[in-house]
A and B are shown apart, each in its own frame.
Chain A
Amino acid sequence: MKAHCHPAIILIAIVAGNIPLSAKAKTIVLDLDVTPPAGKLSVTQIPKKPTAFVIDEPAMLSSPQKAEIDSLLSKANDVPTYVVLKKGKLPVTATLYGNELLSRWTGKAKGYSAMILLTNSSIPELFIIIAGRRIDDPTRNDLLQLGTAALSLVNGSPAQFSEIIRLAEGLSGALNTFSQISDHNASPPVKVSGSQNREPATYSVPVTGTIQSTPNKRGKTSQWDLLSSRLDWPLIQKLIIYLSAVILPLITVLILRRTRRHRPLFFPIHKPRHRFNAPYSGGSNAQIKYVND
């Protein structure tokens, strides 16, 4: 595979150009999670490994377009690449979902795999997920820098997809080189060639928070990861603050009142009013009959 014609990266431009994305759909997240999570999603939530490289649930692509993309992707044997257009809301975050699909479809035999995942939710997002294994830290950092550069460029000027193509060429070169290194068990990372040199300023963009840069530390996806991705944390935080501000003082007041009410009562001591020479009590007139007359 040539360094400048990696089909997955080219497809980014094709898909992005063909699919009518709304104004909110210009986020591209480059996920370089080299250890795809073995998630605990149910079987119904993960589709089976497709025969084609294109899955188009919302039928956004025409048949010739699908055929063209599929033929391009089928040539990329070294780096299996899928184009997944998902309909509706994803059960978990797109990055988790994409990594899960990649890990199940490509397995561990392949050094690298990539996916372009487009979610067709109320806020459509485009994810480019590249899963790689046996990548050392410097190499991963190089990839992250490339991805960050692409991200910043897309965020800054969303209409210029030609710039993405140009960066994608550089990225494809890097991916291809990494793939070759992986095949030959070469450990030292390779500096990215040509295309990087053309845009040195772009590649010096620091890694941003949108890129997940701690893949090896995460290990397997726990049930908590899946659950927490569904929770609305800002709402929960607001609720906690509200509860703390309103209910805790209320509880404190109630506890104080209860404590005050249940404190032991001591009556004042006074001089006894002795009568009938009785030492302890002068008797009482309190009496009732407990039967009906």
Chain B
Amino acid sequence: MFDPEDIFSPGRFHCPGCHATLNKPSNRCPHCGFTAEKCIARFPFEPPPLRRLMDPDKSLQTYQKKRLSKSIARLEKASPQITVSFCSLYLPDGVDGRQFGYWLLNRCKPESGLDAKNRLHHLLILVDRNHKTVSTSVGYGLDCFLDDMTLHQTLQRCREPFIHKGFVEGSIHWIDHIRKELPSIHEKAQADWKHRYKKRHLRGKRLDTADPKKAQQIGRISTPRPRSLASNSSKQQLDNKVHA
């Protein structure tokens, strides 16, 4: 399997605690010392299961739920790898939506092994009705494509519907916007993948002529095709190693 840095242009990371930009993935934020343990300690309760629509305060009308569900279903149909959750909450003062989203996405127990696999391609939209904020979080499987910058830019573009039509309509608009953006993102990802793969393949060939032993090692490492293309028909054939 390729490392993301081998294939895609590496995106920057942000600390969920202090939102500082990090250049390297690490287990502890060098700025604020944020760790997973600290986050768990901050929200010491069991989260609900991750559903498509999460509305613990019953703030959504039935027709709004229907519309949201329909919009999410369309996005999931366009890209069957992706699963989407919409969560509307009233977070207390001092709690940031981004950090809560990070906690929710990681802390919710998957219902099955398949659910755990799909969690890597999960997209969470979290609406904090107290602070009037909308934040989005994605799993590791998507953060190369829907990185922080892309998500933030799309949210900014859809800010007007959020302001004028409310968070439900705004979220629907944003989901539709992402769905329309997905083909170009996907196309870019495929092109990047092919480019990097060819590059590596050629390098392997060159080494093959120079040193057969080294080339043999590279041959073992190299992947013949993008796994997504080989397993388009089923989500079950997604990478197992990731979830091991």
Contacts and interface: CB of A to CB of B under 8 A. Distances in A.
A288 B140 contact: no
Given A274-B25, A290-B170, A269 B141 contact: yes
A281 B239 CA distance: 16
Nearest to B12: A285
A265 B167 contact: no
Interface stretch (B60-68, B100-108, B208-216): B100-108
Interface string B168-194: 001000000000001100100110010
B14 A270 contact: no
B156 A288 contact: yes
Contacts of A290: 132-134, 159, 162-163, 167, 170
Nearest to A291: B132
A292 interface: yes
A274 B242 CA distance: 10
Chain A interface, >50% SS class = loop
Contact of A281 (B106, B156, B170, B242): B106
Contact of B98 (A266, A267, A271, A285): A285
Contacts, number: 179
- Is the interface on chain B under 10, 10 to 19, 20 to 34, or 35 or more residues? 35 or more
A289 B78 contact: no
A284 B227 contact: no
A270 B8 contact: yes
Given A275-B26, A284-B151, A268 B193 contact: yes
Contact of B99 (A273, A283, A292): A283
Contact of A267 (B105, B152, B186): B186
B19 to A, nearest CB: 5
A277 interface: yes
B133 A288 contact: yes
Task: Name the residue in A261, A266, A272, A275 with the highest tally of chain B Cβ atoms < 10 Å from its Cβ.
Answer: A266
Given A269-B238, A292-B163, 18 more contacts: A267-B141, A267-B142, A268-B7, A269-B228, A269-B242, A270-B8, A270-B144, A271-B4, A276-B34, A276-B39, A278-B102, A280-B116, A281-B143, A284-B143, A285-B19, A286-B137, A286-B155, A290-B159
